[in-house]
Structure 1
């Protein structure tokens, strides 16, 4: 408590005082000053300015003072690396001090200073301390080797420190040996080398040395030695028995970590032993030690239970007679009880099932809801695991349903659904009891389970159609899993009882396809619709097919994974039940150190350990083997994407009924950016996109004129973006001999369009605008209502609407409407007029430079800003009047203005004409940049289209050069990707959308450094990652992939080979600076391809 005073100082300017105390000749003052500095450093204060002064205090024989100074140096060495080197001589001197504590302290501190500049000074003292007479110094120096390896692995190997570590395993001091094992373990983990494993298995004497050291070293040293013995691979069964017998005494150790590590080694060695009697005896010794761990603190109990869970999966019979030790106590934490339930389920058998069911039934009546639910699920697991006891489990579940406790009933229904799947056509008699509790269900899982039961046994429920129909009333409000079950149950109802159920299935399919926004629900509904419309018999075979057998939950089915987890008992992975590589990335697996990058990335190849781990690659292989993602070829994809928007969403149900033959498309293979194209025809540019119809002859223009048919496409040709338009006059234009585009600037059309749009916009939005301003007034009402002492009380929207209707009538919603029409409508009209005017002026008087991209972008933004500014100056006085009228007498007592004219006169005569423009400057600042906002990618034409006289039946094709606007919004594109086009002719104005591929806007000759690529890949979140897996119809070669990507302006950054897997890393950038990174993984022998895409904008991924 005496040192607490160092942390409670709030004194200012104490740095100067501390500096004076550090230079004091009194040792006690120095020590006090250092303690204050350490306290300040601990609470986060910056005391790095005292570095040189503190370092000067190192020249002392006082160990306590040295420790404090060393602690300070370790903390601030990175901040002051140049000054830290000055302390090296003191460290070297202290490493030769007669006092072994000072020698060990010096070498430990030098190892903790993580500066590469200091490593060369550390070598000589470290080598000397490794041969020191005192074991305390040696064990400290041994740990320092691992720290030095973390900073400079190459230096450690060149100086032979690893060989020294191997020699130290022969040391006569157990703690030195234990620390040597710790260092070797750390080095092996960071380097992916098997140094320690090779040494242990090289000679039996090395194993004996470690076993001898276990008896003499401290408990944590024992843990590391035991973990190292897991690597031991005995040559014979007798060798395994000999080692195992020497480890068995560790099972009675007081430290739970030592016990768990011993169990880990024993389980690994048992796999090498052939003597069954010996194995049986070991099992008998293992079970008491495991049970003993359950009497420790709750935290240790939890870790022990998680490890026991793994052990029971490997050795299910070892603890079967100890099941009562896992029964829950009333005072145990919930997390311990939950884990015990999992183990009880694993240990339950026909011999103890009665005792277990009685216990679980008692748990199901407790007050902890989650514990009760898991207890009910445990009863269901017993029924699934033990067929002979399923009847008893069903009876207990029915008893629990009779309790009428809502959450118990719902969990029972979920469990019974699984029992029905395990034992079909066996317990249907209880369906009636379940249906009686239909109205009490409010959890989605319980609802979905009961609906599944109704659909599965629909022919045995008299009123099944009524039950399903009752769920349709609130179909849109139900959770997605409930909606999916309603859909499936309705289809089963129709297939099994087609009489009088046609209305139900039709209603469900329409609700699912037309009103739902869930893609899973829509897709499943469309699948069912096609099945039912094509062939009912086929639909029955698919929908009513036998269900796969239900399996036990939370069980690791992969034996290899389970064995790996057993080798990690007492580690974090045994608590997570996940392999270490799935949640821990090694330090050198993704190093951003520039020096290392030169070593790991030669010839455009990543080194095996530089980017991914071998286990991760194997995982990808398994995914490719198991999952085959098929889709349409690139031609079909383009043609479907290029349909006009008017055709895409019409007659969806008709298309669905007539499109059954598309099922054969599932046999097609995925074509990534056209790799299926004929290699005999090499391409150097992006393949041209076929022209598609974007305007039909039946589509009307702005004035209602029809008859113009337009086909269009957008392509990238070399460095240019070209748009092709083909125009054709159809029958409906026979009365007009020809048609031509009009390049003349028409003021009348701009004014008319702006005026009409302004009136509609202001009329519809005015009540909302009024409510918005009223609610934003706040305390300003005191000023607006003639100094009313009662300030404005905040009200909800509904209260505000009700108040306006009661006090001001419905006309109150349009108070100030006339000034709004006099300002808002002219503003929109003038804005459109002046934009066209300014743009026409720039085009006319700057024709020589108008094709230049920066100039076009500048002129477009200037036209928008100037039109906004001009319109604002003209209509601002009316806007001032509008705002005052909207808030005129809002308390219905004091009207300041009688009408609009009175408001204008009042401002003019009382406040002066300048008040009409009060607040103009901030509005001008806002309108200037708002007029310059551009569209995504900003594709536009530098010149207007001018085509003269296209006669009836005549077709004319035009080529337009498009340029990306450099002043874009830098926002992700919307779906689908369209270029909006308007064509003004002498007959009408026609609007249409031209689809284009995102490859069009990829910048050519883009390059990215490897370091930047890796940093960018790390920064982008996984939520913005998209993965596609497919099977290529042909073998993809390296040259083929790289050339194809280059055609689309996608640059290769690096490539590597790992375990017969080819990994390629690409990058590209769009015209609006969206960077897209990709990783292509190819398994040549199986033609499997995996594409992983990361980008700052996740919405871009859908276009690739």
Structure 2
């Protein structure tokens, strides 16, 4: 594994006799047997076997084969084996191999040409490459672009050999590019000359600046790579290439556009250049359908936000257009970037767009609606914290989602309401009114607890206190909660079968809340009927949720209701102008409070 290789295959079927089997198959005249044997030989070599006895056999029986598959496997075999002896010199048998490679470079089949040229790119022995250089150069004139392309790559690889070996093998690489036919001259400077002579390649690049936008994608990418190399070697000349890079921002290739934007940012910190790159990233964000591409572009925008925040602030609305993506990771990253770019100048536009997105989640049926709405609520919450003046424009809209089926989203809304009502006294009356009107829609216990606390804390005027008590009573329904019959059924259903007799005896002694708020045994209240849950105004016939939560055993909600009712009753005594009316109202409220507390006590009692 310490050697480099372009091929790696796991092969664990190694046996001592396999090498002899491979040798016998290679000696045969059957082409299919040779192909199978060569595959096994390659896999054994890749897994650490040396197989020195096969080399002569392959030279004698495989090298002359005309089959394309055999020739390809031969190339893979030659790439893997050691081509030098212990003293570092090329083994003599490689002379025969060189002759075969030369024949392949003159073969009438283009595929054999290309495979052989690609193999030469992986060789590092000048002794093997030296006799093959003329044949490689002759392939620059080949009629097929597939061959010419691989000839260019081979020349580039040979010229990059360590030390001076490459320059000695092809000393006139640049002049060769100037003497070649037009169809090869357009390729060689773009793909090879940069490794032959950076100075000359840069000069050629600048001379062709007007034609770069018309080049193909591969050549434009190579040109960008050349520009980056030139700027690293001579940073003072960055300005020469800015116009060329900007011209590539309009390339039809998304890859070229992306690389051009990154190159532009790395070469220049001028506001014009950064703005052009940021605009290009935003266009890619909208034009590309691949989610991975969008996430990569968002990462680049996030980097620009960190280093050039002033410029990115002006593009915040363009970034927000990525919210149209159905992918939650993209929307989450988009909102994270946006929230750090909000200022007093753009907060109104941002909040308006977020409000529209919240409304869309209500009117359309999308899979991401619940989680997406939660993200939007959190984003609006952050905006309202930083800029309290926008709270009034969003708080009433968000309160429509207090009854959201997505509990996390509803919790975020009620926490937002709690914070806004504390921080903005001018909004308290309107928020309380809205909360009392929509209270019947709330379903989640945690949301109800927070909403009830808000009612008890911020209902300050007489009308607000009376409405608050009335709304809670309507949601609780008629009292008492339990009848004697339901108490027996509840007790029986909750006990195990083997405990039925004992539970019936115990339940007969269990106290029950009567209509007057006192307690009695079930035998004394056998004719008391269970009050049905109330049907609330505007609730489409659905019962109040407070009652169902308490009957289901949510004692925390019951405790919050009891505390809130007590708080509202005490406040009513203070704000009511008539003491007699206040005491009368207090008596009725005390009755409801006692029944609620009694129900919680009875429901939570083990007996």
- TM-score normalised to structure 2 length: 0.49
- TM-score normalised to structure 1 length: 0.29
The structure that is strand-richer by fraction is 1
Q: Whose RCO is larger (CA < 8 A, sep 6+)?
A: 1
The structure that is helix-richer by fraction is 2
